[in-house]
Structure 1
């Protein structure tokens, strides 16, 4: 069933008003008829089963039939902090990371980050990134839309480490085996930090660990910049029982 995210102002007790691109998608792309059903998500973990009741100009009016708790949100909240990779690799991380269950994304500028993001283009880029995340959240039946935070530099990122229960720093030059780290304890809020194509500098690795991050290894093979965060995120979700089965 088709899903759409809505804001609080679009919904009353039993009615929803959809406008803009989502209304166009309902009427022009899917060509839904009166009586067709959709799921609307309030972005706070509640799904609303609704029926198309009318079309008024560029708006679609829905009647709410049932409210349900979303089943698409993981119990663990993982934020992905990724040094911006080249090309469209970051957009791939956003899309697939959303499908896997990340709650937010932090694009980072590190010493070896090749991407040069002009300040005047940053807001427009972020709008595009947030749109990618929204569409991925709808497709994967998420109950919330992950947030793409503004681009952040390395030093301010380090200052955020204490706000998480645990920070995992993926380091290609070695660290603790991931399984050992996951077996030590469970936590609710986790930050994973992944470097650019050229990796982190030795100084950045020292700074991350001094700020409280746990350096981990993802094995003997070197993963691409866009592969590493998704591999790590998948392992975390599996270990916490979010990929089916019981937690490790």
Structure 2
């Protein structure tokens, strides 16, 4: 069953008129008709099975609640150096499928690619749309927020643990920090990843001064688009699969 997101608040038993963009996609593109059902989630992470009552406008009845847990137990923010080409698209799509709650990009000192200020808004609009599509495909309860920030402005929020996926830590054999961090069951985690050129020592120093901890992600050196996905997969294995 397909899933869509709406900005309308959903309550059991309500009849809701959905947005024109959603109506166009569901009715004109997918050719759904009266009586068809799909999953519908709002921005409060409430999800229901909805039934189409009318198609123009698209009015649905909010029927059965969906209660299965699909979000990562650790609210995870990825902070990624701007990569080359279309790798940001890949990171956003796959990280959304793997459960990231926020994805932030930054212009890194050693990066071979940087985003110009006048192009950031357009890029974020595109990436946010990719995140929504991936969240619908993977039946998430929330759409990750995609943003852009200066590394100098990044700080940890209360209750948030900060890590730096640092190549030099991995080369030195550091292999315990990630597992030990997740074992403490943090409410939220933020992890910084360097771009293709790597994260500079100056950037690492600045981040550690703000509470971020360098961590290795295993003995192999991963590409900039691979490391965030490894982190999310490791968090899932360590928190969601332990009872199986």
TM-score where L is the length of structure 2: 0.90
- Whether contact under 8 Å (1:70, 1:143) holds in the other structure is no
Question: 1:92 deviation in Å?
Answer: 0.7
Residue 155 of structure 1, aligned match among 138, 143, 152: 152
Distance 1:11 1:127 in 2: 29
- Whether contact under 8 Å (1:182, 1:239) holds in the other structure is no
Distance 2:231 2:90 in 1: 15
The alignment of Structure 1 onto Structure 2 pairs a total of residues equal to 240
For structure 2, the 5+ residue unaligned runs are none
- Output one character per residue of 1:65-97: Cα deviation in whole Å (capped at 9) or x when no partner: 223335221221000000010111111111111
Distance 1:109 1:79 in 2: 17
SS of residue in 2 equivalent to 1:54: strand
Residue equivalent to 1:186: 185
- Call closer, same or farther: CA 1:210–1:184 in 2, change over 3 Å: farther
Residue equivalent to 2:49: 49
TM-score where L is the length of structure 1: 0.89
Residue 171 of structure 2 is aligned to residue 173 of structure 1: no
Runs of 4+ that moved beyond 4 A = 9-13
Distance 2:183 2:200 in 1: 28
Q: Which moved more, 1:42-51 or 1:63-72?
A: 63-72
Distance 2:77 2:238 in 1: 16
User: What is the aligned-residue RMSD (CA, Å)?
Assistant: 2.1
- Whether contact under 8 Å (2:11, 2:62) holds in the other structure is no
- Call closer, same or farther: CA 1:146–1:70 in 2, change over 3 Å: farther
Residue equivalent to 2:97: 99
Residue equivalent to 1:109: 107
For structure 1, the 5+ residue unaligned runs are none
Q: Which moved more, 1:22-31 or 1:160-169?
A: 160-169
- Output one character per residue of 1:111-149: Cα deviation in whole Å (capped at 9) or x when no partner: 012223222221111111110001111111111111112
